[in-house]
Structure 1
Amino acid sequence: MKLRPGFVVEMAVNFLLPWLAYRLALPHLGETRALLASAAPPVAWSLIELVRFRRVDALSVMVVVGIVLSIGAMALGGSPRMLLLRESLVSGAIGIAFLLSLGLHRPLIFYLARATVAREMEGGAERFETLWRERPAVASGMRLMTLVWGIGLTGEMALRAWLALNWPIERFLAVSPFIGYGIYGALALWTLRYRKTMRSRAEKQVETAPSAS
């Protein structure tokens, strides 16, 4: 991967600016309002991306849910440390939803993968439905990915919640993004490797099928 300018800007918005906004606002606004100020840069970035691409993606939805959770925490008299949990609560809720979907006929990863394939090729959704019905390995692979992502996101929530409740706020703001992106990156890399493994197995099955027949 090349270090593109857009990637550098995105990292600065999500890592540097929240910490800087908190430090500048803390002496004048107090901890709660300083925390709200630290959320302004990533929220503004998400809104800009939404206007540019004219679509609501998963990141925008997570930001909106995080804002709703923050407002709810304030309405209930949420402390600054409770506000720190807003992003973890969102990812944790998604992780729990992934785990619960394992009890359904089709897990959540199936719908995410089908939407991706539908955008990449014409008739992709129908083709993915056929693969799901005719290849048991696809179904088991989707369930395993759902399980891994569910455990990863739920574990991320538990870890960041413990840190938010026990660490100083400034240290949490500096370290928490690295923990979150590290876990997401590890999950994404594992998914890519597992997808490659599944594809290799499928190709071998196709190659051995004619000789077996």
Structure 2
Amino acid sequence: MEITASLQTQPETPQKASRTATIWSLVSSILINGVLPFIIYILLTNYTNTSELLALVASGVPPLLESIVGILRRKRIDVLAGISLAGITASLIIALLGGSPKIYLIRESFFTAIFGLVFLVTLLFSRPLMFYFSRHFATGNHPKNIPWFDSLWQYRGFRISMRVMTTVWGIGFLLEAAIRIYLVFALSTEQFLIVSPFIIYGIIGILATWTFFYSRAGRKKSEAIRQSMLVQQNVSPAPDA
């Protein structure tokens, strides 16, 4: 009965994202992290005596402000905000040390590579990193829902799915870093500033889409198991709402 009860228990405050809000968030993020930095860089390098490195540092101001506003609004640091803030911190250090523009441009790739390695390293621990990310979004970070999500760890299929997702995201971050580092040296600064946002958002978009369908398939399988257990116990399942 304990397994059935756990499977039947649902989070009290599920987090539902509006499609329109999601699309708007993506568009605004591309504008702030891609279009504005490119415009700032072009204006400073073409119409002022600002050096290329300082122009690149100035182009990081819009993403910095977006990250700070996002953290204050959500009261948490998500993956993208963490990468952005880490990159901006590295930017300031590089600027102070008089680093080259090429080194400046690969700063975020360095941190996405670290994130990728961290994801893969956590596979060696009792619970991989994706478990904690999934718990945050699945429960809405509501304290009453966390025990429900934690109880799912007892199921082998759930444990496998968390490890698979952690592996895929870790490899995805490493791939993103490798592509961006290659393009830094293969393209001009202007060309890289144009394509760079599409690389990170493209790869994360692919990973998020894959995670959505992979998780949905897992939920369908879990629901089928739940229905089967209820039938075996001669309990009529409640009709879907």
| TM-score, reference length from structure 2 | 0.80
CA distance in 1, matches of 2:27, 2:153: 38
2:67 corresponds to 1:11: no
1:139 alignment partner in structure 2: 159
Q: Which moved more, 1:66-75 or 1:188-197?
A: 66-75
> Which stretches in structure 1 are left out of the alignment for 5+ residues?
none
Q: 1:35 aligns with which of 56, 63, 70?
A: 56
2:198 alignment partner in structure 1: 178
Mapping 1:109-148, distance limit 5 Å: 109-119=130-140, 121=142, 123-133=144-154, 135-148=155-168
Q: Which moved more, 1:144-153 or 1:172-181?
A: 172-181
Offset at 1:65?
1.1
CA distance in 2, matches of 1:92, 1:137: 28
CA distance in 1, matches of 2:220, 2:152: 15
Offset at 1:122?
5.1
1:20 alignment partner in structure 2: 39
CA distance in 1, matches of 2:66, 2:189: 23
Residue-by-residue CA offset, 1:131-150 (whole Å, 9 max, x unaligned) = 102x1111000000000000
Offset at 1:210?
4.0
Offset at 1:32?
0.4
Offset at 1:48?
2.6
2:128 corresponds to 1:107: yes
CA, structure 1 residues 6+151, in 2 after alignment: closer, same or farther (shift >3 Å)?
A: closer
1:192 alignment partner in structure 2: 212
Between Structure 1 and Structure 2, the one with more helix by share is 1
Among all aligned residue pairs of Structure 1 and Structure 2, give the percentage whose two residues are the same amino acid: 35
CA, structure 1 residues 205+2, in 2 after alignment: closer, same or farther (shift >3 Å)?
A: same
CA distance in 2, matches of 1:7, 1:155: 21
CA, structure 1 residues 54+203, in 2 after alignment: closer, same or farther (shift >3 Å)?
A: closer
> Which stretches in structure 2 are left out of the alignment for 5+ residues?
1-18, 234-241
CA distance in 2, matches of 1:111, 1:193: 19
Task: Select the structure with the greater relative contact order (CA < 8 A; seq sep ≥ 6).
Answer: 2
CA, structure 1 residues 90+24, in 2 after alignment: closer, same or farther (shift >3 Å)?
A: same
CA distance in 2, matches of 1:57, 1:16: 23
CA, structure 1 residues 120+56, in 2 after alignment: closer, same or farther (shift >3 Å)?
A: closer
Q: Which moved more, 1:55-64 or 1:92-101?
A: 55-64
